[in-house]
Amino acid sequence: MCGILAVFGVADNSQKKRSRIIELSSRLRHRGPDWSGLHHHKDCYLAHQRLAIVDPASGDQPLYNEDKTVVVAVNGEIYNHKELREKLKSHEFRTGSDCEVIAHLYEDYGEDFVNMLDGMFSFVLLDTRDNSFIAARDAIGITPLYYGWGLDGSTWFASEMKALSDDCERFMTFPPGHVYSSKTGVQKRWYNPPWWNPESPIPSGPYDPLVLRKAFEKAVIKRLMTDVPFGVLLSGGLDSSLVASVASRYLADSTAAQWGSQLHTFCVGLKGSPDLGAAREVADYLGTRHHEFHFTVQEGIDALEEVIYHIETYDVTTIRASTPMFLMSRKIKSLGVKMVLSGEGSDEIFGGYLYFHKAPNKEELHHETCRKIKALHLYDCLRANKSTSAWGVEARVPFLDKEFINIAMGMDPEWKMIRPDLGRIEKWVLRNAFDDEQSPYLPKHILYRQKEQFSDGVGYSWIDGLKDHADQQVTDSMLDKASFVYPENTPTTKEAYLYRTIFERFFPKNSARSTVPGGPSVACSTAKAVEWDAAWSKNLDPSGRAALGVHASAYIDNGKTATQ
């Protein structure tokens, strides 16, 4: 995962300004420690910090078209770049980089080529022939992008707001699935699936387990595109276990076999935590080379300030889950691994969170899954990307593959409804799709293991330790005055107050605090659960403990008991 910084319309073109751009770009070097690049044309700068995953030898950025009139800086991966090269045979490619196709696609198709890309990406492209530029972000917002404006009239783009927050008078999150053109001054949505429009009819497509399974396998396989060592983040839950199972089956694929026939898997937790035991069992079943990392509550607390600086949020649930992932990513990088597959997105697509047990009907469930997917870039995508990128590791998320999402969101949501009377727990459609008696992907009890919130799964004492630490740092009086100190997005718990104070030290501008989702420190999911069942209002903690009785010890499926 790379880091990009682009500035257009700079009033000062002195060497001092160039040095300032280099200095700000270096704040993103953790994202791309392998090489730094800078292109300067008139009043425009494109800077790049590279993490070399595909074509490490010659894929340095910025990238260009043949005569270098089109310049592009990209953060991401274009999985269909080989197919796109077939459409661009009239062009001369200088590198094997998957991102070079962007410059040539712009030449042939103009500004409307973005929907041709299959991948995760944020990019900025400069056309030096008329000094125009475009910027775009992938469909769901897997890769981060911010944009802002300087007092001199300049326009800025950066992978993380730490690279522009000091020099921009105002900045904000660039929305997923959008492209901006300086020619028109318009930012428009390029990603428009039917489910995105709240006015669209509720989907009525059939549920075909084999189609769903094949789409997910394809999503995993295309993400094995790499020229560096890789692995899978394995918590032992359904989502990461399916990613690991599919990846291990297809490891003989030519794009991945160069790193050996045994898949590497990684798990983190407090000693004795639920995730560690479950992940070990899955790893043994799949025959992976498993790496188990331990951390203590104190080590996590000691890392909080660094975590918040890197993930750029004060959201409670995100920080709880980011800290173990941040610590694990450092260990993973120490092993020489630069890319990992992860299981984010499944719960949003299939209604996997335990509060979905309270969904009153399929219409409500569908609208909530849509809302959750649209917010992923503010929560789980942000966590997965920035926690790993802090140590120069790239996280890829097959559940957020465009084709897979279209299939999963096109089926009648009645299939996603949790129906204990029919033996259907949360995400039953996904579990059933991989329930293969002849060639099992996972053991039954793992396939039907109920969800643990990540911040709970790494060890229940982790959250308790964070709350105890916050109680020691934040007084009752401080919390009572919170609305005066932080009138916008006022923290309602001591833990939330603590995270907010740390965040404000690093990012004191109003623009920065406005990039974090609004509302109280309680997760949005809990708010929806309260709407569906007032009993949930008694539990204001945003962790998975708010399940209030739906986290059953066993389910009956086809006459068989599947226990956690």
Give the separation between CA 160 and CA 178, rounded to whole angstroms.
17
Give the pair of three-digit tokens for residue 119: 């991948």
Give the pair of three-digit tokens for residue 165: 């927050």
Q: Three-state SS for 231?
A: strand
477 labelled ligand-binding: no
Give the separation between CA 462 and CA 209, rounded to whole angstroms.
37
Give the separation between CA 329 and CA 324, rounded to whole angstroms.
9
Non-local CB neighbours of 79 within 8 Å, separated by 6+ positions:
98, 118, 119, 222, 223, 225
Q: Which residue has the tokens 């770009």?
A: 25
Provide the annotated active-site residues. Answer: 2
Give the separation between CA 339 and CA 228, rounded to whole angstroms.
7
347 labelled ligand-binding: no
- CB distance 114 to 136 below 8 Å: yes
Q: What would the DSSP string read from start to end of 33-47?
A: TTEEEEEEETTEEEE
Q: Which residues pair with 90 in a beta bridge?
A: none
Residue type, 301: I
Give how far Cα 82 sits from Cα of 98, 111, 216, 505, Å.
8, 20, 20, 45
DSSP E strands in 22-145: the ranges are 35-41, 44-50, 63-64, 70-78, 119-127, 132-137
- CB distance 120 to 139 below 8 Å: no
Give the separation between CA 131 and CA 160, rounded to whole angstroms.
24
Residue type, 265: T
Q: Which residue has the tokens 């006459």?
A: 559
Around Cβ 211, how many Cβ atoms within 10 Å?
A: 14
268 labelled ligand-binding: yes
Give the separation between CA 448 and CA 561, rounded to whole angstroms.
9
Give the separation between CA 245 and CA 220, rounded to whole angstroms.
10
352 labelled ligand-binding: no
185 labelled ligand-binding: no
Give the pair of three-digit tokens for residue 132: 């125009």
- Burial (CB count <10 Å: 0-12, 13-18, 19+), residue 413: buried
Give the pair of three-digit tokens for residue 468: 């105890």
Give the separation between CA 355 and CA 537, rounded to whole angstroms.
12
Residue type, 380: D
Give the separation between CA 370 and CA 350, rounded to whole angstroms.
10
Binding site, annotated residues for L-glutamine: 98
Binding site, annotated residues for ATP: 233, 268, 342-343
Binding site, annotated residues: 98, 233, 268, 342-343
